[in-house]
Structure 1
Amino acid sequence: MVEAPMDVEELLMLGKYMELQPAALRQVAEGLLKVRDREGVERPLRANAVQREFERRRGRQNIVLKARQMGITTWVAGRFFLKTITGRGVMTVQVAQTREAAEGIFRMVQRFWECLPVELREGPLRRSRANVGQMCFPGLDSEFRVVSAADESAGRGLTVQYLHCSEVSRWPGDAAATLAGLRAALAPGGEMVMESTPNGAYGCFYEEWGRGVEPGVGGSDCQGDDEVVRHFFPWWMEEAYVGAPVSDLREDERRVVLAHGLTAEQIGFRRGLEASYRGLRSQEFAEDAESCFKATGECCFEVAAVEARLVELGEPVETRRGGTLQVWLPPIAGKEYLVGVDTAGGGADGDFAAVQVIEMSSGMQCAELQQRLGTLELARVSAELAREYGGATIAVERNNHGAGVLAYLDSVERYSRVYEQTGVAGWLTTAGSKPGMVSRMGALLVESPWMFFSRRLLGECRTFVAMAGGRTGAVNGAHDDCLMAMAIAQAVRAEFVLKTR
């Protein structure tokens, strides 16, 4: 048991001791912090196998892929709370996926404080503020905040020494933008932990995991300044995950037993997961760092085909307009081209507009534009590209802002080669036509992936998912404008090919 320090200087000395002797943090946590266990009993925070392994391997920046209820959120909260109350001028921020989750984490941190010795709570760790989500310690000029990722101002205007991002794969809105803002608030030398269960082979957390690195032999001292250390914790590392013993093993169970040394009781628990979670077992109780992503998310396209093509891609032969316009195949005299246009409202915070140029006979992608443009500018750029590609046909989605683009193409650009559908200018995307557009793109990605050269386009394919009610679209924080512009172009091309047979 750790003897409670009674003044600020002793707290600061304890903080320095934990910095010099990292193993001491576990002893201090056990001596000072209390949590409620699975049975609701209040007990000291004793590190389990997962928490000990994380502590052994962690770097300055970390990303944790895990099964459910492994204790990482609890451990990081406790660790960062200790850092906050044993350091001067410390700002700690924990970010949860929802306000309800943030309130749950804060209740846990509140318990940490309430269970401290009274001499600390009424002395150097007396709080000047302790509203929902925030506690301040004026004796140390330190603060601990728990916020929701749905809060657009999360972390804004702060300098953060310790940052914990929880369940990142389930953050609402533009998760990548939220994370970028929080990273910008992290002080040089600050510590960061991102953790989550998987939620599909796409999105911010999936991308961050792919950029992470395995921990070096020498631990955090071997980590580069910008490197994020990866930690994967399968469900069987939690000792409580056991069930009735199983003796009649299936072939897949034998493989898991041989590979990881699982017991008959753990296989019994695994069978219980299959009965309870069915197809979501690999997501909620991960067994490896690959299948847990790909078993979830209901992507509309074949993820393996998309990722294989992404690996093969090179750079465009030309970029313009600050990189928003990319060209892979310049125009060739005598060839016929088609320009597909997905419109948007424009503005600094609006959706992107997208333009795809394809070669009519082969369907190959030639050029792509993705930029926030108003209707007049989009009409101008689309007409310029169409003229550059030999007077190509322009197919504009006429939904929403498309009517304005079509009007400007006619009245301002005087461009006459505009696709018409049943005598009306433009392509109409409806609940009836969209499934066919998506299915066609899915078939092309599997059968003819060589047709596509854009990382932006293929990235959008990976984050385009089936939703409730039979709808399809981009996941929260992702875009589908390049994809829809290409889907329009390929649908119009299919009509053209059919007519010329």
Structure 2
Amino acid sequence: MVIALAKEHRRGIKRKLQQRPDKLAELKAILLDFEQFCYRMLKIKDKSGAMVRLILNDAQRRYAAKVFEDIAVGKPVRIIILKARQMGFSTVTEALIYYFTSLQEAKNAFIVAQSSDASSNLFDMFQLYYERVPSVIQPMSRKNNAKKLTFENPAIRTADRRLNPGLKSKITVQTAESRVLARSDTIHYLHASEVAFWPAKKKKRHLLSLLAALSKEPGSIGVIESTANGMEEFKQIWDAAVKGENDFSPLFFAWFEMPDYRKPVSPGFELTDDELELKAKYGLDDEQLQWRRYTIRNDCGGDSRQFDQEYPSAPDEAFLLSGESIFDNKFIKRLKESISRKGVIHEIDFVKNEIRQSHAGELVIYQKPVQGKRYVLAADTAKGKEDGDYDAAYVIDARTGEMCAALYGKWDTDLYGKKLNTLGLYYNTALLAVENNNTGESVLNTLYNTCHYPLLFMHKKGTMGWNTNQATRPVMISDFKEAIRDELYDVYCPDLYSECMTLIDNKGKAEADSGCHDDRIMAYSIALQVRQVADKWFEWFKKKQQQREGSKHEENNGGAGWI
């Protein structure tokens, strides 16, 4: 049993149903089955305002099943939901929270909505659950106000409350517009609703405090759900969940999973090319496509991109850019899906000056170095701010342009320099070009003065590294666009393509959309530029080595002659 039925309920059920064993068995069966609990015990208002039973649809059922699956294996439940609009996920999440909080003792549920109006709507939902639930499982409650349901004995006398305290559980609903959230109590059940629409300046701080207050014990529940709203914190948490970089299970629910999203087809209805593609890809019928067409025309101002954000068919459709995309994202998606070579994860041990396979490494190798081949290693450096960009570097074949390795992470500048030193030496002493903007000078200092890397690129005489500026950046981006668009070189890094999809035109300047990054783009762009002049650097290095060998030879042969 996933709930520990409270003493108050056990006594009440025994008192009211001890003479009705058939009803007692029926009630026990209902309490053990969440879907039956919703249908038999909870009431909601439908879109027409009528009071109806809560009947779960397929999408709600799939979500609830995941919750109970995690509880059954002894896990804390952590779920992030990306969804189409108005699919009933607030309704079922509040039903889950009511189920666990109103039947058990000493549970604290905390719900946060994007606005005051939205939080009022969610609180009204809880109140309706409480008011309409059968009395046999309706817990005692104090006078409820300030968007809080407190399940405890409302008696005035302390002795009465001590003798029969009630559940001592509570449900609190607040708005993300609040200055501070959840700074004291431990939260057992958390619902962060429509997170993508929380106030931008408070969103990150609120999420940090809520997740810090959320119990880590098995059976605790933390749900973050939202319709998409551009490139912001919700997308970052979603992306991390998809990559397995946090403990949230990502659940996506497409618009066509909602049974109500369909309209009768008019005579002469013909599908457009886009609709035919959707029909073939997702198995949609004409009534669903008619609803989509109607909604685009009437609710989305005729903008199919807006429909994709509000009613996505796939996760990558949901996150609408704030500006015009630099690339045709459908084309980029096809490139990403057709990558011909998967990389192997490695780690760089600069202490031992070696590179080895590791499941938790920061380096992905697509093509190991081949003796006699020449390589370019280009490194983008972070801005140095806590919330700034990442360090990113690529190794490419100097002759063919083929991508050979990708390095990505956040490091202190000296550590980054040492990792680049080991990586460059591994690739036959690659021509190493480090962006000298921002923290790049410190990275270069480590490479030159500490590591004594032998083949550092100089942007101009006396200046180590590559300088990205008003003159070089447009050329870099132009050549990068051409390379990707025309598929000039073999690119194997899916994350580079992901950055391409969030590169926008902001008043004539190509840059990452708000909340996104372009570190990989800049690193690869530097690699493409440096590759164009790599031959002369390798020839210079070859002559330098020959001169060094010649000097050693003269020393060895001439030393004895001077005696």
TM-score (norm 1): 0.70
CA-atom RMSD, angstroms? 5.1
Structure with the larger RCO, 1 or 2 (CA within 8 Å, 6+ apart): 1
Rounded to whole Å, the distance in 2 between the matches of 1:359 and 1:21 is 58
Question: Hey, what does 2:218 align to over in structure 1?
Answer: 188
The one-letter amino acid of 1:60's match is K
Q: Residues 149 and 171 of structure 2 are in contact (CA less than 8 Å); yes or no, is this contact kept in structure 1?
A: yes
**Partner residue of 2:314 out of 289, 298, 301:** 289
Gap change, CA 1:103 and 1:453, over 3 Å in 2: same
> Compared with structure 1, are the counterparts of its residues 311 and 38 closer, same or farther at alpha carbon in structure 2 (3 Å cutoff)?
farther
Deviations 1:435-460 (A, max 9, x none): 54344334434544873344554554
User: Which of 308, 313, 316 lines up with 2:337 in the alignment?
Assistant: 308
Give yes or no for contact 1:174–1:476 (8 Å, CA) kept in 2: no
Instruction: Report the structure number with the largest CA radius of gyration.
Output: 2
**Cα drift, residue 232 of structure 1:** 3.3
**Alpha-carbon displacement from aligned partner over 1:39-85 (angstroms, at most 9, x marks no partner):** 8x6x646547xx53334443134665543233332442344235423
- Contact residue 181 and residue 210 of structure 2 kept, 8 A: no
AA in 1 matched with 2:362: T
Contact 1:342–1:354 (8 Å) recurs in 2: yes
Work out which of the residue numbers 392, 395, 398 in structure 2 matches 1:354: 392
The 1:262–1:135 alpha-carbon spacing in structure 2 relative to 1, beyond 3 Å, is same
Equivalent residue of 2:287, what SS? coil
Which of 408, 432, 436 is the equivalent residue of 1:370? 408
- Please tell me the residue identity of whatever aligns with 1:53: D
Q: 1:291 to 1:431 in 2, by over 3 A?
A: same
Deviates more, 1:248-257 or 1:79-88: 248-257
Shift of 1:153: 9.7
Distance (Å, rounded) in 1 between the aligned partners of 2:304 and 2:433: 40
In 2, Cα distance between equivalents of 1:452 and 1:263: 38
The superposition leaves residues 156-178 of structure 1 with CA deviations (integer Å, 9 ceiling, x where unpaired) of: 99765544344466687889x97
* 1:144 lines up with 2:199 in the alignment: no
In structure 2, do the counterparts of structure 1 residues 476 and 499 end up closer, same or farther at CA, with 3 Å as the change threshold? same
Residue 101 of structure 2: aligned partner:
84
Q: 2:254 aligns with which of 193, 212, 232?
A: 232
Q: Counterpart in 1 of 2:38?
A: 25
Cα distance in 1 for residues equivalent to 2:140 and 2:316: 49
Alignment correspondent of 1:9:
9
CA distance in 2, matches of 1:339, 1:418: 10
Which region of structure 1 is more displaced relative to structure 2, 392-401 or 329-338? 329-338
SS where residue 323 of structure 1 aligns? Answer: coil
The residue identity in structure 2 corresponding to 1:283 is: D
TM-score (norm 2): 0.63
1:170/1:283 Cα in 2 relative to 1: closer, same or farther (>3 Å)?
A: farther
| 1:251 corresponds to 2:280 | no
Q: Aligned residues, how many?
A: 461
Q: 1:266 to 1:368 in 2, by over 3 A?
A: closer
Kindly tell me: are residues 267 and 290 of structure 1, through their superposed partners in 2, closer, same or farther at Cα, counting changes over 3 Å?
Answer: closer
The answer to whether the 8 Å contact 2:150/2:170 transfers is yes
C-alpha spacing 1:356/1:66, structure 2 compared with 1 (3 Å) = closer
Distance 2:28 2:471 in 1: 63
CA contact (8 A) 2:378 2:394 kept: yes
Deviation at 1:493, TM superposition (A): 1.7
CA separation in 2, counterparts of 1:442 and 1:418?
A: 26
C-alpha contact 1:283 1:292 (8 A) present in aligned 2: yes
Displacement of 1:276 in angstroms is: 0.9
Contact 1:340–1:357, Cα closer than 8 Å, also in 2: yes
Match of 1:444 in 2: 483
Matched, 1:205 2:238: yes
CA distance in 2, matches of 1:447, 1:12: 73
* Equivalent position amino acid for 1:331 in 2: P
Alignment of 1:69-468 (within 5 A): 69-94=86-111, 96=113, 101-112=114-125, 117=131, 124-126=140-142, 136-138=150-152, 139-146=166-173, 161-167=188-194, 185=215, 187-190=217-220, 193=223, 195-198=225-228, 204-205=237-238, 231-234=253-256, 237-238=259-260, 246-252=266-272, 259-262=284-287, 266=291, 269-270=294-295, 272-273=297-298, 276-286=301-311, 288-289=313-314, 292-293=317-318, 300-301=326-327, 302-310=331-339, 312-316=341-345, 318-321=346-349, 323-344=361-382, 351-415=389-453, 417-423=455-461, 424-430=463-469, 433-445=472-484, 447-448=486-487, 451-462=490-501, 464-466=502-504, 468=506
SS in 1 for 2:400: coil
Q: Is the 8 A contact 1:65 1:197 kept in 2?
A: yes
Cα drift, residue 391 of structure 1: 3.6
Q: Which runs of 5+ in 2 are unaligned?
A: 1-6, 14-26, 68-78, 153-165, 350-359, 539-563
CA distance in 2 between counterparts of 1:426 and 1:75 reads: 56
Letter in 1 for 2:311: A
Distance, in Å, in 1 between the alignment partners of 2:289 and 2:515 is 42
Q: Secondary structure at the match of 1:340?
A: strand
Residue 208 of structure 1 deviates from its aligned partner by 5.1
In structure 1, stretches of 5+ residues that fail to align are 1-6, 212-224
Paired with 2:212 and 2:468, the residues of 1 have a C-alpha distance of 37
Contact between 1:350 and 1:372, CA under 8 Å: does it hold in 2? no
Q: 1:148 to 1:487 in 2, by over 3 A?
A: farther
Q: Does structure 1 conserve the Cα–Cα contact (< 8 Å) formed by 2:344 and 2:364?
A: no
Is 1:53 aligned with 2:66?
Answer: no
Q: Name the amino acid aligned to 2:419.
A: V
Distance change (3 Å), C-alpha of 1:47 and 1:156? same
Letter in 2 for 1:28: M
